[in-house]
């Protein structure tokens, strides 16, 4: 039955995510949703009038106008529509899936090619996990900056680094200093790492010179993806002072293929697990219900090496010190504005949780495990210190509300490490 979902699929009727696909018979990227093990081409539904009762999707002006929203190669046109219209689309799709769409609209997921889902003008990445900050301070032998407790710390990244899942990552090269006090060299990184994060896409734009009120932050969020912030730690370490990361973070930022909307995540809205210090500045103080401050998204990262999967991280979005709503409010607090399709990373989502052995399995990157108390015995026994060529990083996110009978996920954010790009000077 095509109107039912296979056990274990992240794409249940409670989800209705949005992405961009192409297929062997139609290489043009266009908008889609996912249900079970299938993609549904939204441009096809729009073209035949399945969504024509929704304002903005009526096809005014004749048949040639039908398909202007979902036939686009990005989700920007849809994301920029009022949230009430997007909710109508979600509700219509929910009805169709319960009632059953004709089989011709179902495309097996294993036959589609995914594309980066948005036209992104701005990418920023946060540093907002207290456990991550503590662990990095230990490893780097540096204090925690007092500003961490006053503002969500963030830097501007490069949109050229943004990649869809399954896009391989060439080992970055840059300037490193393998031996302290010796001259630096230009070479491939020897310390390639991942960071398990979530990415947040912007829907409603905010004009420059306007300030975002945290009460309205949700109105500007289209949805969430799982995000891997690939990090070359030795390159990052050499370039970090005084201006922050550049090439150490610029080679790859991978995202999962389906954008999960706030409407889907409402079923797992929750309070934050990490208490904030007193004195949060008024403009960053959460004004809504305590139980709706963030979302309960269970996150996992694994490393595939030589055919074996190693569990590296088990954490949760709700264990960040600063929530996505606070992050977005800070991002738009100085009048720079927001554009539809912008994305920000939540920062590494490290938690203080432990596994049945009492080992810290909430650590969301490898460099934090350099501290002896953060070692994971299975990783140490198998020599997993940093990523090797051929390693594959596999991340997932899941939402579960047992009381409501809800379970859905984001799909995998996956990337394989390839050797560094050929450089002629290396072979002379």
129-177, pLDDT tens digit by residue? 999 999 999 998 888 999 999 999 999 999 999 999 999 999 999 999 9
pLDDT digits over 167-194, tens only? Answer: 999 999 999 999 999 999 999 999 999 9
Evaluate if residue 408 carries a pLDDT over 80. Answer: yes
Does 195 show up as a binding residue in the annotation? Answer: yes
Q: How many domains does the chain have?
A: 2
Out of 86, 115, 144, a domain closes at 115
Q: Are residues 72 and 183 both part of a single domain?
A: no
Does 392 show up as a binding residue in the annotation? Answer: no
DSSP label of 333? S
pLDDT digits over 256-305, tens only? Answer: 999 999 999 999 999 999 999 888 999 999 999 999 999 999 999 999 99
What mean pLDDT is predicted for residues 398-410?
90
Better pLDDT: 151 or 56: 151
CA distance 91 to 50: 12
Q: Containing H/E element for 21?
A: strand 18-23
Torsion sign, CA atoms 315, 339, 152, 123: positive
* Residue 59 pLDDT: 61
* Residue 141 pLDDT: 86
* Residue 68 pLDDT: 85
In a domain, 280, yes or no: yes
In a domain, 195, yes or no: yes
Give the up-direction half-sphere exposure of residue 255: CA atoms within 13 A in the CB hemisphere. 29
Q: Are residues 65 and 212 both part of a single domain?
A: no
Does 348 show up as a binding residue in the annotation? Answer: yes
Evaluate if residue 213 carries a pLDDT over 90. Answer: yes
Q: Are residues 56 and 85 both part of a single domain?
A: yes
* Residue 198 pLDDT: 99
Question: Per the structure block, which two tokens stand in for 332?
Answer: 């738009």
What torsion do the CA atoms of 304, 305, 310, 315 make, to the nearest 10 degrees?
-50
Give the up-direction half-sphere exposure of residue 270: CA atoms within 13 A in the CB hemisphere. 16
Q: Are residues 241 and 291 both part of a single domain?
A: yes
Range of the domain at 230: 123-418
Band (pLDDT 50/70/90 cuts) for residue 226 is very high
In a domain, 425, yes or no: no
**Residue recorded with tokens 């969500």:** 152
In a domain, 177, yes or no: yes
Evaluate if residue 1 carries a pLDDT over 50. Answer: no
Q: Are residues 381 and 337 both part of a single domain?
A: yes
Band (pLDDT 50/70/90 cuts) for residue 8 is confident
Q: Are residues 59 and 185 both part of a single domain?
A: no
Out of 115, 139, 162, a domain closes at 115
In a domain, 8, yes or no: no
Better pLDDT: 165 or 3: 165
Q: Are residues 37 and 139 both part of a single domain?
A: no
**CATH code of the domain covering residue 333:** 3.90.850.10
**Which residues face 86 on adjacent strands?**
none
Does 229 show up as a binding residue in the annotation? Answer: yes
Q: Are residues 157 and 79 both part of a single domain?
A: no
Question: Per the structure block, which two tokens stand in for 155?
Answer: 């830097």
Band (pLDDT 50/70/90 cuts) for residue 102 is confident
Q: Using a cut of 0.75, tell me whether the model's pTM lies above it.
A: yes
Q: Are residues 167 and 295 both part of a single domain?
A: yes
Torsion sign, CA atoms 160, 164, 170, 173: positive
Out of 99, 115, 131, a domain closes at 115
Q: What percent of the chain has pLDDT over 70?
A: 96
Q: Are residues 180 and 217 both part of a single domain?
A: yes
Band (pLDDT 50/70/90 cuts) for residue 427 is low
Q: Are residues 206 and 177 both part of a single domain?
A: yes
Evaluate if residue 60 carries a pLDDT over 60. Answer: no
* Residue 65 pLDDT: 45
CA 221-227-233 angle, 5° bins:
130
**CATH code of the domain covering residue 71:** 2.30.30.230
Mean pLDDT estimate for the chain: 94
Catalytic residue (choose from 115, 132, 283, 330): 132
In a domain, 267, yes or no: yes
Does 41 show up as a binding residue in the annotation? Answer: no
Evaluate if residue 62 carries a pLDDT over 50. Answer: no
pLDDT digits over 371-399, tens only? Answer: 999 999 999 999 999 999 999 999 999 99
Q: Are residues 312 and 280 both part of a single domain?
A: yes
In a domain, 315, yes or no: yes
Band (pLDDT 50/70/90 cuts) for residue 64 is very low
Q: Could you confirm whether 283 is annotated as catalytic?
A: no
């Amino acid at each position: 039955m095509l109107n039912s979902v296979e056990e274990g699929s992240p794409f249940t009727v409670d989800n209705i995510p949005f992405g961009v696909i192409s297929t062997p018979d139609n290489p043009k990227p266009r908008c889609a949703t996912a249900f079970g093990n299938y993609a549904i081409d939204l441009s096809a539904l729009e073209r035949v009038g399945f969504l024509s009762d929704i304002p903005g999707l009526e096809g005014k002006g004749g048949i040639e106008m039908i398909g202007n929203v979902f036939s686009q190669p990005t989700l920007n046109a849809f994301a920029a529509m009022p949230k009430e219209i997007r909710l109508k689309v979600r509700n219509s799709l929910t009805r169709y899936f319960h009632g059953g769409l004709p089989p011709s609209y179902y495309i097996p997921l294993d036959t589609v090619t995914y594309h980066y889902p948005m036209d992104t003008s701005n990418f920023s990445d946060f540093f907002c996990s207290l456990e991550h900050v503590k662990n990095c301070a230990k490893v780097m032998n540096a204090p925690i900056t007092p500003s961490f407790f006053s503002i969500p710390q963030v830097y501007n990244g490069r949109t050229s680094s943004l990649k869809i899942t399954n896009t391989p990552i060439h080992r970055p090269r840059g300037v490193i200093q393998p031996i302290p006090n010796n001259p630096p060299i230009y070479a491939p990184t020897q310390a390639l790492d991942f960071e398990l994060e979530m990415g947040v896409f912007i829907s409603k734009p905010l004009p420059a010179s306007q300030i975002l009120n945290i009460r309205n932050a949700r109105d500007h969020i289209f949805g969430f993806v799982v995000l891997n912030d690939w990090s070359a730690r030795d390159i990052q370490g050499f370039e970090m002072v005084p201006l922050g990361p550049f090439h150490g973070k610029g080679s790859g930022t991978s995202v999962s293929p389906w954008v999960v909307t706030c409407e889907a995540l409402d079923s797992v809205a929750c309070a934050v697990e990490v208490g904030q210090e007193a004195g949060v500045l008024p403009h960053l103080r959460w004004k809504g219900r305590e139980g709706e401050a963030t979302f309960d998204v269970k996150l996992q990262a694994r490393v595939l090496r030589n055919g074996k999967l190693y569990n590296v991280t088990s954490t949760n979005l709700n264990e960040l010190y600063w929530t996505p709503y606070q992050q977005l409010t800070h991002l738009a607090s100085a009048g720079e504005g927001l554009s539809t399709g912008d994305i920000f990373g939540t920062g590494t989502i490290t938690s203080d949780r432990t596994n049945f052995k009492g080992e810290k399995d909430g650590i969301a990157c490898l460099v934090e495990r350099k501290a002896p108390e953060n070692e994971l015995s299975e990783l140490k026994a198998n020599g997993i210190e940093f990523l090797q060529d051929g390693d594959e990083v596999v991340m997932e996110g899941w939402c579960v509300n047992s009381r409501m009978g809800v379970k859905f996920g984001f799909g995998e954010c996956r990337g394989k490490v390839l050797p560094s790009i050929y450089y002629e000077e290396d072979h002379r």
